[in-house]
Amino acid sequence: MSQIDLATTSLRELNETLQAQKGGDNQTVWEILNPRGSHALAVGLDAPIEVTVKGHTGYYCAGMNQQATVHVEGSVGPGVAENMMSGAVIVEGDASQYAGATGHGGLLVIKGNASSRCGISMKGIDIVVQGNIGHMSAFMAQAGNLVVCGDAGDALGDSLYEARLFVRGSVKSLGADCIEKEMRPEHLDLLANLLDRAGADAKPEEFRRYGSARQLYNFNIDNAY
């Protein structure tokens, strides 16, 4: 394992070092010390490496991740795992706004709570939040799965497309075109797999599923007046 201490190494040097890893013969296990809320930490990774961040981070931690597993032993600021393509990002604490925004793939696990707009415009990412999420989460979500073991705030799934939303607790309100849907056996199997991968102590049968009513797909002349 290699260690990089941000008390003595610049953030630019850290990211350049991690981005240079391509797997194979390179160092595959990294530990980042003294992150001190740094922004854009461990962004743009594209190798099957493991990175553990020993503390809290700021904006856009692990953004644009591909292949790597990034484990944050603390909380994260806005935009964690933004536009992630593959790999995994695990946050031991809480996440601020728009966690997993526009993510195309991979798994984001937040063991605490997530703030507003969690999963906004998600495009295939899987997000598991073991606590609660804030308002306008999954706004315009296009594909992927958002699993919430706690409660959801106002306007859940507003204007979403084909993303699947699973909530164990209460939902304060549903957004435009978002409705509760039947939980079929295939959804229980999918949810069981996601909960297992996220290490979440919850049963699929405890959740309710929400999705698009598909009423916003086509132009309606009545909406023009």
- Mapping DSSP onto H, E and C, the string for the chain reads CEEEECCCCCHHHHHHHHHCCCCCCCCCEEEEECCCCCCCCCCCCECCCEEEEECCCCCCCCCCCECCEEEECCCECCCCCCCCCCCEEEECCCECCCCCCCCCCCEEEECCCECCCCCCCCEEEEEEECCCECCCCCCCCCEEEEEECCCECCCECCCCCCCEEEECCCECCECCCEEEECCCHHHHHHHHHHHHHHCCCCCHHHCEEEEECCCCCCCCHHHHC
Question: In this predicted structure, what is the pLDDT of residue 219?
Answer: 62
Rounded distance between C-alpha atoms, residue 177 and residue 184, angstroms: 20
Question: In this predicted structure, what is the pLDDT of residue 1?
Answer: 87
Question: In this predicted structure, what is the pLDDT of residue 83?
Answer: 98
Question: In this predicted structure, what is the pLDDT of residue 223?
Answer: 60
Q: Mean pLDDT per segment of 10 residues, for the chain of length 225 residues?
A: 95 96 78 97 96 98 97 98 98 98 98 98 98 98 98 97 97 97 97 97 97 81 62
Question: In this predicted structure, what is the pLDDT of residue 127?
Answer: 98
Question: In this predicted structure, what is the pLDDT of residue 213?
Answer: 93
Query: Which domains does the chain possess?
Result: 2-214 (2.160.20.60)
Question: In this predicted structure, what is the pLDDT of residue 151?
Answer: 98
Rounded distance between C-alpha atoms, residue 53 and residue 217, angstroms: 42
Closest CA to 205 of 220, 214, 215, 195: 195
Degrees to nearest 5, angle at CA 148 with 194 and 84: 60
Rounded distance between C-alpha atoms, residue 122 and residue 163, angstroms: 8
Model-wide pTM > 0.75: yes
Q: Which amino acid is at 43?
A: V
Question: In this predicted structure, what is the pLDDT of residue 22?
Answer: 82
- CA 153 to mean position of chain CA atoms: 17
Closest CA to 97 of 74, 72, 84, 80: 80
Question: In this predicted structure, what is the pLDDT of residue 133?
Answer: 98
